[in-house]
Structure 1
Amino acid sequence: MAIRRRPFIKLTVAAFSAAWIGILANPVPADAADKVTVFAAASMKNALDNVDAAWTKQTGKEVTVSYAASSALAKQLESGAPADVFISADTDWMDYVAKKSLIKTDTRVNLLGNQIVLVAAKDKAKPVDIKEGLDLASLLGDGRLAMGQVDSVPAGKYGKAALQKLGIWSAVEGKVAGAESVRAALALVSRGEAPYGIVYQTDAASDPGVAIVGTFPANSHPPIIYPVAITADSKNPDTAAYFDFLKSAKAVPFFEHEGFTTIK
């Protein structure tokens, strides 16, 4: 079903505003001051929630996490928002905070890998052969292609790169529904507000309302890498132990269960 442009724009602006208001107006509460605070890419939510539960079970220590687009989180670090660990969905935003001296660069490591896929509502999903020259515009019809904002959200940047490489971008650029995070793009497809979306494989697996209809070739976009680092201002005595746990063999099954690949 085609969606009308005006309601969609209102929805996107409202969602974007809500995300920023949530970050700006809700600093880490006082009772969370003794917890390790993590800023993590929205696509990590399911996996990282499980990793953190395992950490708490093992140590009795708790973690508080803010999930959002890597771009938004990087800007918040720049604005002085308190965090102990930053996990980005691409290297660009980790490079950004590194240049601002906001992380301890000697702690930075590449933690995870991912894939981008094309998704559709599960009850309407049909396989799509993603290849050079795919007529994605015809598949969209009057509908829109949900994806992260292509100038800032990592999944959107990867998606645009893939569409350009495959010679599809110019035909669908005007049909893109840019969302403030990859999870917001996923929600548009799950709710039936967009017929197709480009998201991470891990996001698609987290939502029973969508199905993967095609996977973008790995050589159509830069490698998808999730780097992690301890922030420069972290003073929590538990940060180092938590950071080590993220990189340990104990965390691997939780990440791989959600579809991430671990980088050795």
Structure 2
Amino acid sequence: MIRRLFIALVFCLAALPVRAQDVVIFAASSLKTALDEVTEGLPVRISYGGSGLLARQIMQGAPADIFFSANEVWMDAAQDAGAIRAESRVELLSNALVIVGHEAAPFEDMLASDGRVATGLVASVPVGIYAKAYLERAGHWDTISPRLVETDNARAALALAARGEVPFAVVYASDAVAEPAIHVIHALPELPDLPIRYPVALTASAGPAADAVLQALQSDRARAIYAAHGFGTP
């Protein structure tokens, strides 16, 4: 009797549909709100974090199928290491930097205050790298740098300002769209020689289902969602 039940169970399990293995996406944290919407219903698992950390993990063999970076430098590093498929690479999105505050305030008051300013790690996290370069060019770095609170990614800096743990943050324009609890104080002008770009590519170890997902990330529907969340196009 037990043997017959076991055989019946085996046949029932064999008849169940087998779900294809999820496509694993390593994506910059600033993409989270938009990318969660873009990939709704797709067979994916997404790991969000700072682009530098994700790139290093991919180069060390982490099991990812797609890398969606918040800057070109870390994608270049992964490409130079042979960790992505260069022919699949697309410069998909653009962004801008803004200074935000937990409370609305004139930009001049922010500069004159001693309030702390959150942003990403200026040595490795794209939003921090961009923030330092932009503030240096604008002549504000010496004023703001002693007040910096550096975080592991853009969304962590945004969260500090949204919760009021710091009064100000330098984040992406798309982050400001995603968080209603903050106010845009100042938009930093684009630097022609340092554009903010988001490249996406298949990793060298990408599975067969990854290409279809990569195409979905570039679809007209996806582009409309990115635009609604504050991203631009290169």
**Distance in 2 of aligned mates of 1:33 and 1:109:** 25
Match of 1:106 among 43, 63, 87: 87
Deviation digits for residues 185-243 of structure 1, max 9, x if unmatched? Answer: 011111111111000011111112111111001138710000000000112x2111111
Aligned-pair distance for 1:92?
Answer: 0.3
Deviation digits for residues 1-49 of structure 1, max 9, x if unmatched? Answer: xxxxxxxxxxxxxxxxxxxxxxxxxxxxxx9980111000000001000
Amino-acid identity (%): 40
Match of 1:138 among 112, 134, 143: 112
**Distance in 1 of aligned mates of 2:144 and 2:39:** 39
Structure 1 residues 199 and 152: alpha-carbon distance in aligned structure 2, compared to 1, 3 A threshold: same
> Unaligned regions of 5+ residues in structure 2, if any?
1-17
Deviation digits for residues 53-88 of structure 1, max 9, x if unmatched? Answer: 1xx2xxxx4110000000110111122110100000
Aligned-pair distance for 1:127?
Answer: 3.6
Structure 1 residues 137 and 33: alpha-carbon distance in aligned structure 2, compared to 1, 3 A threshold: farther
**Distance in 2 of aligned mates of 1:32 and 1:224:** 37
Structure 2 residue matching 1:40: 3-state secondary structure: strand
Structure 1 residues 213 and 103: alpha-carbon distance in aligned structure 2, compared to 1, 3 A threshold: same
Determine whether 1:248 maps to 2:219. Answer: yes
TM-score between the two structures when normalised by the length of structure 2: 0.88
**Distance in 1 of aligned mates of 2:185 and 2:174:** 14
Dislocated runs of 4+, deviation >3 Å = 134-137
Q: CA RMSD in A?
A: 1.8
**Distance in 2 of aligned mates of 1:162 and 1:248:** 32
Structure 1 residue matching 2:70: 3-state secondary structure: coil
* Residue number in structure 2 paired with 1:85: 66
Structure 1 residues 91 and 211: alpha-carbon distance in aligned structure 2, compared to 1, 3 A threshold: same
Aligned-pair distance for 1:144?
Answer: 0.9
> Unaligned regions of 5+ residues in structure 1, if any?
1-30, 129-133
Structure 1 residues 254 and 248: alpha-carbon distance in aligned structure 2, compared to 1, 3 A threshold: same
Question: Contact (CA 8 Å) 1:165, 1:221: kept in 2 or not?
Answer: no
Question: Contact (CA 8 Å) 1:161, 1:221: kept in 2 or not?
Answer: no
TM-score between the two structures when normalised by the length of structure 1: 0.78
Structure 1 residue matching 2:230: 3-state secondary structure: coil
Match of 2:35 among 26, 48, 52: 48
